[in-house]
Structure 1
Amino acid sequence: MSLGDDQEGSGGYGGTGQTRTHLPGGTTDVYGGARRSGRSSSRSLVTVVGVVVLLIAAIAFANRGGDGSSSSAQGTGGQPNATTTAPSGTKPVQSTPGTIPTGYAHDAQGAQSAAANYAVALGSTGMFDKTQRDATLQAIVVPSRVAEFQSTLDSAYTPAFNKAVGLNDDGSTPAGYTFVSRTNPVGTKVTESSQNNMTVEVWCSGLLGMAGENSTNPVTNSWFTITMKLEWAAGDWKVVTQSQKEGPTPVPGDDPASSADEMAKAVDEYGGFTYAR
């Protein structure tokens, strides 16, 4: 029985003992349509009001966060406060389309925003091109470490590695295929901090592979955590070191894999984001 329906006894209406009289022409019972409609409407109104009250209470509870009694990120019983993972509300850093976002705030939120966006850049398809890779490193790495990063990554992005992921030896994409390499930050946290140095962990989901008919390297999903040590240099947060480990990884869902054409189309049509803590 749904809300707003009246309970009826056998042969009676509303417990009054009076029976319904159906008149010719499809008219309603002796109480008239107006009264029954009024009772149904009032019950519906009560239901709506109740839902609204519960919704307001739920929103208030979700936004309540800490009560100010402790500066710790942990709430009662070791549970994190709502503010631990809630968005800060800070506007994303200003950037030019097609470039890596730079110019972050000189605080923990700015460092987390920088780490998230730098993780995206370091996991992009541009890293497979020497010219684009060097430009990325110049933009996000502390100046004193750029040469070291370039040397290390030049040793990693070899023709053999390119071939292993389905690319041509020079890192270009074979005709008729779409190469996919995307890092999607899920969340960030600061593990060490001082005025000019921050260590930030970025939990990510990643896509890597070749979309196209007859591809032997289909696009797959992975989960990993990137740890970046950042330094405030030249008016911005810059990468000093970067490392990566697997997980945390959720249980795979039951979603069927999309076709190569669907995946290629999605990569072409859906752009990325600028991340802000």
Structure 2
Amino acid sequence: MRRSRSLRVRAVVAPLALGALVLVVWQEAVDRFDVKPYVLPAPRAIATALGDHVDAVWSGALTTAQNAAVGLLIGVVLALVCAGVAAAVSSVAGAAAPLVAAVSVMPVPALAPVLYTMFGTGAQTARVVVAALAAFVPVYVNALRGLRTVAPVHRDLMRAFSASRWQATRTVTLPGALPLVFAGLTIASSLSVISALVAEYFGGPVDGLGKAITSAVSSSQYALAWAYVVGAVVIGLVFFGAAAGLERLVARRSASSP
């Protein structure tokens, strides 16, 4: 118990200590070498800008996070449904493979201008679609692989017990696929935030962190632009932490269930 608690403390303290060291070195380097703000603002200046404009950062973060969350939900649900159908019908998987490969190599955020034309520049729909497409591929690929990864001995055992197809799926296939599904979800959680943020650069409503960053840079408020970047980083960490927490919760319930 004591060792486990010590490991948890280290897992928290070590990243915080490293982060503090990076900030100290960063501040010292900017002061010592007189780095210009347009090259790299000092952490102190970024913190000041963040404190002075916390309401604007919060408002932009909420917009970006909402678009990313809706897109992530749509992409994950669609990916799981498609993976389930593809795992059950091999011809569907073969037909979908070229499309999934095309989406995986497509610069999804670059579709934003086209989507703005389709859905209108005053709507958030294009940003949601971009986030959904970015989340779809990693979840689909990992879920399909997980659903197909069943040890032959487990399959033979279920047949020996005359288990139905649904019983075999519920007790063997789905639990075995969960680790890969959550691996895809972890990747998708970050991609959805990045894609929604980048999509804001290409037009649409004048809100969100992407628009705020470009506006701050165009007005030479470089520390403020980095303050908005800090807001984007916080959103990404929240999404990543939520995906990791959900994985742990499901793993605990699966371990405790008979």
Q: Is the shorter-chain TM-score for this pair beyond 0.5, marking a shared fold?
A: no
Structure that is richer in strand per residue: 1
Higher-Rg structure is 1
- TM-score, normalised to structure 1, is 0.24
Q: Which has the higher contact order (CA 8 A, sep 6+)?
A: 2
Structure that is richer in helix per residue: 2
